[in-house]
Structure 1
Amino acid sequence: MKKVIYAVGIIISGLCFSQETPSKIKASFFEGIAVAGYVDHGAFINFTGPNVNASYKGFKFIIGMLPSLRIKEDQSPGAKNSAITPNLGAGLTVVYKKMVVQIPVYYNTKTATQDGSWKIGAGIGYSFK
């Protein structure tokens, strides 16, 4: 996880301090992006939430919160959880024109059989702006 955070920091600092073309960094509450993808043996659908973003040569790099619906069937015996649950993730989103690629991370809480852990996923989507 530390390596991912360091890599994202290096990418953003490179965009911010490059001398070829000035990039714009700003904060936003909503970007008009919808993404679907895979994480932890299940699916997710999310929309970009509060974030910090930078634009550079037609690309937009977004780091922020991801209000999501996670879809995963509970495999445990006995009482089962709902297949669709609301979740809040965080992650890196890259937008080029209207195409979106996203690397979200979600936290799975501790249960009676598993320790809590972060899960990394991948998704593709569409930018409505």
Structure 2
Amino acid sequence: MCSLFSKDGNAQTTKLKASLFEGILVGGYTDGGAYINCTGPAVKYVVKKIPIMAGLLPSLKIKKDQAQDGATHNSIITPTLGFGLTACYKHLVVQLPAFYSAKTSTSDGLWKLGAGIGYKF
């Protein structure tokens, strides 16, 4: 177990800890489309009452497929799993996620960065 401790009077408070779910909902932009996600398992580090999390982001990507006419199209809404950083200040959430776009006949598989804003319940 890896933990950092800081002194606050006589009490010890953990600054680094694991988290399964935080009650955060985020919407944002990545790879020419939108996404909606919640935070999943993460490692949380608290700096001056502002938690910063690095972890997994179960998401729904919303993007229209740019396939040729007559070719098959993917669904507009696709479940995916990303990872990234999430920071909270009171109820405001800012997120920097990364999602993998699989290889297709017209493009290579690449990691795509995004940006989002959300709410902590």
Shorter-normalised TM range? 0.7 to 0.9
| 1:24 shift after superposition | 1.3
Match of 1:26? 17
| 1:94 shift after superposition | 0.5
1:94 pairs with 2:81? no
Q: Which of 46, 58, 65 is the aligned partner of 1:67?
A: 58
Overall identity of the aligned pairs, in %: 56
Higher percent of residues as strand: 2
Question: In structure 2, what residue type is equivalent to 1:95?
Answer: C
Alignment size in residue pairs: 112
| 1:86 shift after superposition | 0.1
Residue 101 of structure 1 contacts residue 125 of structure 1 at CA under 8 Å; is this kept in 2? yes
Match of 1:37? 28
| TM-score (norm: length of structure 2) | 0.87
Match of 2:77? 84
Identify if the C-alpha distance between structure 1 residues 117 and 32 changes in structure 2 by more than 3 Å, giving closer, same or farther.
same
Whole-Å Cα distance in 2 between the matches of residues 67 and 59 of structure 1? Answer: 22
SS in 2 for 1:121: strand
Whole-Å Cα distance in 2 between the matches of residues 104 and 120 of structure 1? Answer: 6
Whole-Å Cα distance in 2 between the matches of residues 91 and 45 of structure 1? Answer: 14
| 1:19 shift after superposition | 8.6
Unaligned runs of 5+ residues in structure 2 are none
Residue 23 of structure 1 contacts residue 56 of structure 1 at CA under 8 Å; is this kept in 2? no
Higher percent of residues as helix: 1
Question: In structure 1, what residue type is equivalent to 2:40?
Answer: G
Unaligned runs of 5+ residues in structure 1 are 1-15
Q: Which of 78, 99, 110 is the aligned partner of 2:103?
A: 110
Whole-Å Cα distance in 2 between the matches of residues 23 and 99 of structure 1? Answer: 23
